[in-house]
Structure 1
Amino acid sequence: MSADQPHVLVVEDEAAQREVLCYNLEAEGFSVAYADTGDAALQLIAETPPDLVVLDWMLPGVSGIEICRRLKIRPETRALPIIMLSARGEEVDRVRGLETGADDYVVKPFSVVELMARVRTQLRRTRPATVGETLTFDDIALDSETHRVTRGDHPLKLGPTEFRLLSTFMERPGRVWSREQLLDRVWGRDIYVDTRTVDVHIGRLRKALCLHGGTDPLRTVRGAGYALG
């Protein structure tokens, strides 16, 4: 799994429906995992936290609505976007799904094109750099499609790792990222890299950002990690 790819978990017990979802998500450039029961989904989310969950309401064992409720009451998964799929089209069911914490509710049968658009909408909110958005912070602009970064009137030359680091910081200005969280997001969850490597690349990013003057926008939070602004 590339660290640039949003990671989507599909939770669907109908094999044909699951295959269609996984195929189309992968065609959109997403990294995809799947589960066919609620228990398996909860285990996967704990082991490899996704960037978004496409969740069927009706599942064997733990229902989709219960999974949604559990994820939304936990601080570590509260912000995880959930798109709920259901054959229940009644307004009362839609309201129940949204009140349980689902970020979007799609009634079966659905248009795959529409669902992909809804997935991108949710990711634009939580991981804007991965869906082609231009990010700005003070006088810094990052174009995620062309991989160009400018500060003021000056173009900046960043290596791929520094670019991904800056993307991560600019998606959530002010958030403090630990070294371990940056390793997961920037290098990928399946790659072992020493945490000191993060410090080296932060140093390179700082140097590039301040090459033409200006204050250092990156903040070191002692004992916690790094933040932008």
Structure 2
Amino acid sequence: MRLRDLTDRRVRRRAGRVNAVIGAVTVLALCSGGWLLASGSEGHPPPQPSADQARPGTVREAPGAAPMSPSPPDRVRIPSLRVDAPLMGLGLNRAGSLDVPPPRRKNLAGWYEAGTRPGERGTAIVAGHVDNAEGPAVFYDLGALTRGRTIEIDRRDGSVAVFTVDAVEVYKADAFPDEKVYGAARRPELRVITCGGPYSRRTGYQGNVVVFAHLTGNR
């Protein structure tokens, strides 16, 4: 076995272990629904993905593009949703869940910097608020994304990682599939996460919207 192959395996195992510490609680802080509560707009929640956008169970995984060299991400763009936002690094808080971007900065998303960097082999995590007390935030329309659309990540080395959406799904918080979302991947993959599902005045959003994507190009 070549040293590079062994190193790649260790990196994938490490990324899998690091991501495994994130559970469903990682995005609860994104889900207060402050704007819906303050404005009385409960009849106009953010869009939710339809069953048609779920990952087909019998489709063979496409190989995608070759992994890129390591570089931190600086910006996320989703052209079809007109999302263009800077990325900040996120760690874990004292409770062991993922920190979130400051709610007051509604056009700011974050990435889990102890895990995989977008473009590398493995599963990279990006998360952002759906709204704040003032109105819709960076990922308000994430549930409207459809399979085949692209997500672009600007990286610090000047390159751009281009991901193609494989599925968009919504999960209840008490049935969040940790391994499916955060588990290690053989190819470069991306998860983009925000709040979704039914809304409660008492507890906010009851679930999460998750976008599954894989690397298909770079420039």
Aligning the two structures, in what range does the TM-score lie when normalised by the shorter sequence?
A: under 0.3
Name the structure with the higher helix share: 1
Alignment TM-score, normalising by the size of structure 2:
0.21
Name the structure with the higher strand share: 2
Alignment TM-score, normalising by the size of structure 1:
0.21
Structure with the greater alpha carbon radius of gyration: 1
Q: With a CA cutoff of 8 Å and minimum separation of 6, indicate the structure with the bigger relative contact order.
A: 2
